[in-house]
Structure 1
């Protein structure tokens, strides 16, 4: 009996050591309850809500398919559909970046003659939504927010050709006392790339890589982010919008990209081009989106960031598995570069970097049965019979010695109750841009400080 007790205590002690993160350099592992990787049927609040509420304005972020959402899609998207759309978004980001580098034609807002012939970037399935008010009196609308998009747009009556189904009533400009069309040849109209005119009115058109599109008037009205009101905010008032099912029942999109027409640029006097968010780890919990210089609610580790055409660029320098740095040359990351994107789901790595990550992860997971590849994910496991699994930590390093230990939800992507995959994918071309996706960003307070040229990260924020 004594020997059995001694053996048990020894096993516990060794287990404790395996999870230790002390300076001895021991391997780092997580014990993960598989039930924590999947969404629940009940909405749970974020951590430290009082601290979050102290920053104004604060918008609640929810996954549009989860129990915290007010949307009620007829059919929820499967993991395969989400990953397939994610790949479409990544393909179009790569195409767009190549176009910027002079390797192809540019894309973005399009004229009516172009809109049937060219594709812009993919709308994707970032899944995260917020609620804002538009007009006077204010009408609450559900928008997806996206750091990879610039033009904010909503559906507007009378929807000359087609409007997809949305949760709230479609915005009626005639019912707002502060609505105005942006005039053609004005500076705001000229700032919208690919602008065109109908009489004296400025029009816009955006077509996404999945063939979804929005076309309409470029307009201005009051935007309400309780308690703040932004006068004469410019946005697309969509008259012809086709979502092919992926828009769900949202009313439109809040563009947080770096270009002049984005929300971030339009509100620079008020919020100093600073914002932060925390993406929830599962669809049954909530996060937040804050604006202003007080968005950094805790000490953050900051890495240099450069706002470029359409995206926010940063420098990834390395990866670690089980707290051991992988032998990857920094040039593997620096040659193609990396963007951070709230609308891309799975982080994309250069082929050599992904191969090193995959190999090291598999070496630390030999106690589990591998499953077939699933969509874009090729390191998958069958956890049938397990309630808890032990997985190695995964770290991502950025310039300025910033190292992020990912949450377990940022390491494994659940496919079912018994199957999960490593939540990373490799690019097919070493010259393709790397993308730091939203699964890996989850639970971090991510601060975009554009005047300082920095992005900050602090863990366990939601």
Structure 2
């Protein structure tokens, strides 16, 4: 344990950007349950949205023949900016449930483990390695050397790791292998897949975490990510609306993440046309999935974006980030276009009127009739379209507009961030089926009713 604490100190003193690599083989097609982090807790919309804007869960830094699936449910721990979608699997023998944030912006798969020197509160019991007959500490080998911060005293010792994220979250623990159980069911599903994977058993964990999660499932390009360990050439997910997920009806608040198998574009829950754009790489951030953003339109107005902002290595799609963030000058141009077209008073220095509680900047005052007559049609908001290479991503209204009619507030859910990078977060990916074709480096997407996906499979 002293090695773990020393690694934690090393990471806290390190440069702010850490990159992960990883490794692993396996085969099959895996499906896992996907839920929102606050599903079933009955939070009201204003409660769900009341969070800080500082959250960024990005890491700075044998072919499958049948798909592997896990159910995923989303849920903010209380707000848009910490909107999280959790992959539900089980670990160990006998299997113990874990709930891991689906993060395409990092690589390591890890969960909190006993004994815990410093852990964030979680609703599920801590994973106890001593209670699993299939748990095995990983010896010092290639997987250990692939991590940016790892410690091996000699070849016969086990691998201690430290892994940190752009929001200052940190996990320190022991790399190990154990049996992961995937399947859409409730433990009674005979089709569940059981695979041995390398993961981080975290004994020292700090940062921005919610009680509904137990760790993070990295879906990045590195060797220790879940897609890489399963050796799949495709994976896909469909995030049900965060507001559907906050209800107590789990049948309408979850869907699946599927790893492996051929990309299928004929799902019944898809309600629009499929579009495809290239997935690009950037050697300086090898784990991330880059897209070529050509422009942004608000309604029929093409926002003028400076040419340097449109480089193909400055936009990423990241399921572990919440709100889509734009470089500050781009955000101001988009904001000006909405202000010019919405036709409602912009709330400035909102104070206690509700907009500031949502931690959003681009908010408008709704007329009194919106509170008195909630059944009236919602105010018209211009369409938001991201023009990608070969594709136009027209974001559904629920993916960028939030209304609190009781408070007479309507907000456009976008944010600004310093630097050049644009991040397409999971709030804008709601009710969109997204397919990553890793063999051909293509991203396909289509509007969908993701809450219906569980009923289809």
* TM > 0.5: yes
1:454 alignment partner in structure 2: 442
Pick one of 381, 386, 399 that aligns with 2:389.
399
Q: Deviations over 1:346-390 (max 9, x none)?
A: 112233432332222111111455454647633211224313211
Query: 1:155 & 1:427 partners in 2: Cα distance?
Result: 30
1:31 alignment partner in structure 2: none
Q: Deviations over 1:12-32 (max 9, x none)?
A: xxxxxxxxxxxxxxxxxxxxx
Pick one of 216, 219, 222 that aligns with 1:256.
219
Counterpart secondary structure, 2:173: strand
Going from structure 1 to structure 2, the CA distance change for 1:323 and 1:255 (only over 3 Å counts) comes to same
1:83 alignment partner in structure 2: 53
The answer on 1:306 being equivalent to 2:287 is no
Q: Deviations over 1:91-138 (max 9, x none)?
A: xx6xx36xxxxxxxxxxxxxxxxxxxxxxxxxx834211210111222
2:33 alignment partner in structure 1: 60
Going from structure 1 to structure 2, the CA distance change for 1:126 and 1:149 (only over 3 Å counts) comes to farther
| The 10-residue stretch of structure 1 (324-333 or 312-321) with the greater mean CA deviation from structure 2 | 324-333
Q: Deviations over 1:257-302 (max 9, x none)?
A: 111111111111xx32x11111122332334311113453436311
Going from structure 1 to structure 2, the CA distance change for 1:404 and 1:411 (only over 3 Å counts) comes to same
**Offset, 1:193:** 2.5
| Corresponding pairs, count | 362
What does 1:429-444 correspond to in 2, within 5 Å?
A: 429=419, 432-444=420-432
| The 10-residue stretch of structure 1 (213-222 or 293-302) with the greater mean CA deviation from structure 2 | 293-302
1:182 alignment partner in structure 2: 138
**Offset, 1:394:** 1.1
Query: 2:313 & 2:228 partners in 1: Cα distance?
Result: 27
1:37 alignment partner in structure 2: none
Counterpart secondary structure, 1:364: helix
Query: 2:96 & 2:321 partners in 1: Cα distance?
Result: 29
What does 1:62-461 correspond to in 2, within 5 Å?
A: 62-67=35-40, 79-86=49-56, 89=57, 96=60, 125-159=82-116, 161-184=117-140, 186-197=141-152, 200-226=157-183, 227-243=191-207, 246-268=209-231, 271-272=232-233, 274-285=234-245, 286=253, 287-298=255-266, 300-308=274-282, 309-328=286-305, 330-334=307-311, 337-368=314-345, 370=347, 372=349, 374=356, 377-383=360-366, 384-386=368-370, 387=374, 388-400=378-390, 402-414=391-403, 417=406, 418-429=408-419, 432-461=420-449
The Cα RMSD (Å) is: 2.8
Partners of 2:323 and 2:415 within 8 A in 1: yes
**Offset, 1:255:** 1.1
Counterpart secondary structure, 1:392: coil
**Offset, 1:253:** 1.4
Going from structure 1 to structure 2, the CA distance change for 1:409 and 1:371 (only over 3 Å counts) comes to farther
Greater CA radius of gyration, 1 or 2? 1
Counterpart secondary structure, 1:391: coil
Going from structure 1 to structure 2, the CA distance change for 1:66 and 1:416 (only over 3 Å counts) comes to farther
Going from structure 1 to structure 2, the CA distance change for 1:247 and 1:143 (only over 3 Å counts) comes to same
| The 10-residue stretch of structure 1 (302-311 or 258-267) with the greater mean CA deviation from structure 2 | 302-311
| The 10-residue stretch of structure 1 (375-384 or 124-133) with the greater mean CA deviation from structure 2 | 375-384
Partners of 2:91 and 2:178 within 8 A in 1: yes
Going from structure 1 to structure 2, the CA distance change for 1:135 and 1:330 (only over 3 Å counts) comes to same
1:18 alignment partner in structure 2: none
Query: 1:144 & 1:84 partners in 2: Cα distance?
Result: 18
Partners of 2:292 and 2:312 within 8 A in 1: no
Query: 2:144 & 2:365 partners in 1: Cα distance?
Result: 54
Going from structure 1 to structure 2, the CA distance change for 1:130 and 1:434 (only over 3 Å counts) comes to same
State TM-score, norm by structure 1. 0.71
Counterpart secondary structure, 1:377: coil
Query: 2:321 & 2:340 partners in 1: Cα distance?
Result: 27
Partners of 1:65 and 1:283 within 8 A in 2: no
Query: 1:125 & 1:372 partners in 2: Cα distance?
Result: 23
Counterpart secondary structure, 2:118: coil
5+ long unaligned stretches in structure 1: 1-54, 98-123
